[in-house]
Structure 1
Amino acid sequence: MDGGASYNPRTVEEVFRDFKGRRAAMIKALTTDVEEFYKQCDPGTWFLFLFFKWRIYCWLHGFNLDKKTNSIIRCLSRFYSWYLCLVLDAQNVTELIKTLITEKENLCLYGYPSEQWEVNLPAEEVPPELPEPALGINFARDGMQEKDWLSLVAVHSDAWLLAVAFYFGARFGFDKADRKRLFNMINDLPTIFEVVTGATKKQTKEKSSVSNHSSNKSKSNSKRGSESQPKYSKAAASKDEVEDGMEDEDDEEHGETLCGACGENYAADEFWICCDICEKWFHGKCVKITPARAEHIKQYKCPSCSNKRARP
């Protein structure tokens, strides 16, 4: 682990900067880099061995299982037997079983101040220098739907970020005022869970529909329609609006829009693009899309929607 051990922020601003870097890294893992993150959280094949062992145990002890359970266990055991046949030429059974059992251990998702993320084993030293993130996120992966699993990892990631931030606060003697200021700075940002699940988009979406309705009303009057401007619009989606300047009222509404990748607030001087599938907005720089390139895209899909595929 090379993210937290060598870097110790000492002021409220430094701790908050550390928090933002780690948060951005974990959001990246759960959104733009979700395909790679999913692969790295492979739980391994150890569960096949456990099912095989369970079937033998039930048979030896004469347990009567219902037809459905028996059928599931039989299929899994048969699959496991086929798996053994394929690899027996490469290694003996003892080595194979040892590999299956120890193939994967409890993995954690780490976010570093450099905005880099890593899936790795927990720290070996006890107690660890920094609070540890949730263990075994890989083992829950195949037991639930992907979106639910990502939400679960996001919740634990939020808890870990707070633990690390206030660990630094305690270590360097932050007083009541410093702790309160740090919390308020953190609380102004949406949680990883809110970014991953899109919870922060609901209010923005509702306001968008209301403003679109009022815009349609104004268009019915040809005279007023030519003079009025849309109440809810994206400066990033229209160069003309950027050049003409946005009103204070527009800026307030835009400020509530959050990037689906980094979770940061909207700014009038930045290029944004909306995914036509999930309807989330993204900084152009976060998804590597420039205004010139956006003009040639008929339907834009964000990295998360592009990487979605059926999971086994």
Structure 2
Amino acid sequence: MALRTVDDVFSDFLGRRRGIIKALTVDVDAFSELCDPSKDNLCLYGYADGTWEVSPPCEEVPPELPEPTLGINFARDGMKRQDWLCLVAVHADCWLMAMSFYNAAKIDQKGRQRLFEEINGLPTCFEIVSGRASGKPGVDPMQAAAKRAEEEEGSDSQDGQGDPCPMCNATYRSGEFWIQCDECDRWFDGKCVGMTAKLAEEQPQWKCPLCP
């Protein structure tokens, strides 16, 4: 499907980004298992609907769309897992930018500038996976998930707005846009999950990247 407007391209970017972040945080064990070094070149694909896939590159040459970095599976067992995830995240960020500006090739200069500004206003996949989005050193995603579960069990908060964002651990500041998941009722920093007030108004129901 052709993406004709800045909003179309940005929405596509948000979905693909959401899928990649989920692969590198929530679904990290499944992602790591799929990246078997004994297999041929593998890529991490994020899709517009927020899903992800580990797959060989497209056989078509040249491919219809920009391809993610090849061979992410080969480094899996040669690095610490957190370092490997951060490396994959950096290359995923490059691919997301390539996809967005490929889709925006027919949009005018002002439109491309607005697209870049909207994308640049979000934390990168690397910043989220490494922990830099929250200003804290990166931790293993599974340890972070366990810590969040412990905090939720011991929390007396009724609406969750006093809790840090489950994705980046940032705390709410006056004037920021946060959004509540309709599945788990947790609150998320809008920048972290790629949501704005305008996008939220267009979605009667919103499910966060942490919910299955």
Please give the TM-score of this superposition, normalised by the length of structure 1: 0.49
What secondary structure does 2:48 align onto? coil
The 5 Å alignment of 1:1-312 reads 7-44=1-38, 104-170=39-105, 173-202=106-135, 238-239=157-158, 258-260=165-167, 267=178, 271-272=185-186, 285-288=208-211
Q: Rg larger in 1 or in 2?
A: 1
Deviations along 1:41-98, one digit per CA (max 9) or x if unpaired, are 0102xxxxxxxxxxxxxxxxxxxxxxxxxxxxxxxxxxxxxxxxxxxxxxxxxxxxxx
Q: What do you get for the CA RMSD once the two structures are aligned?
A: 3.2
Deviations along 1:90-128, one digit per CA (max 9) or x if unpaired, are xxxxxxxxxxxxxx1000000010111000010111111
What secondary structure does 2:74 align onto? coil
Shift of 1:238: 2.2
2:34 & 2:93 partners in 1: Cα distance? 20
Count matched residues.
170
What secondary structure does 2:167 align onto? coil
Give the conservation status (yes or no) of the 8 Å contact 1:258–1:266.
Answer: no
Higher relative helix content: 1
Give the conservation status (yes or no) of the 8 Å contact 1:25–1:111.
Answer: yes
Unpaired stretches in structure 1, ≥5 consecutive residues: 1-6, 45-103, 204-235, 247-253, 275-280, 290-312
Give the conservation status (yes or no) of the 8 Å contact 2:22–2:209.
Answer: no
Give the direction of change, closer, same or farther, for the CA distance of 1:175–1:154 in structure 2 (3 Å limit): same
Give the conservation status (yes or no) of the 8 Å contact 1:237–1:272.
Answer: no
Give the direction of change, closer, same or farther, for the CA distance of 1:111–1:241 in structure 2 (3 Å limit): closer
What secondary structure does 2:72 align onto? coil
Give the conservation status (yes or no) of the 8 Å contact 1:108–1:135.
Answer: yes
Matched letter for residue 132 of structure 2: A
2:165 & 2:120 partners in 1: Cα distance? 14
What secondary structure does 1:37 align onto? helix
2:108 & 2:156 partners in 1: Cα distance? 45
Unpaired stretches in structure 2, ≥5 consecutive residues: 137-154, 171-175, 194-205
What secondary structure does 2:49 align onto? coil
**Percent identity of equivalent pairs:** 49
Give the direction of change, closer, same or farther, for the CA distance of 1:113–1:146 in structure 2 (3 Å limit): same
Counterpart position of 1:308:
none
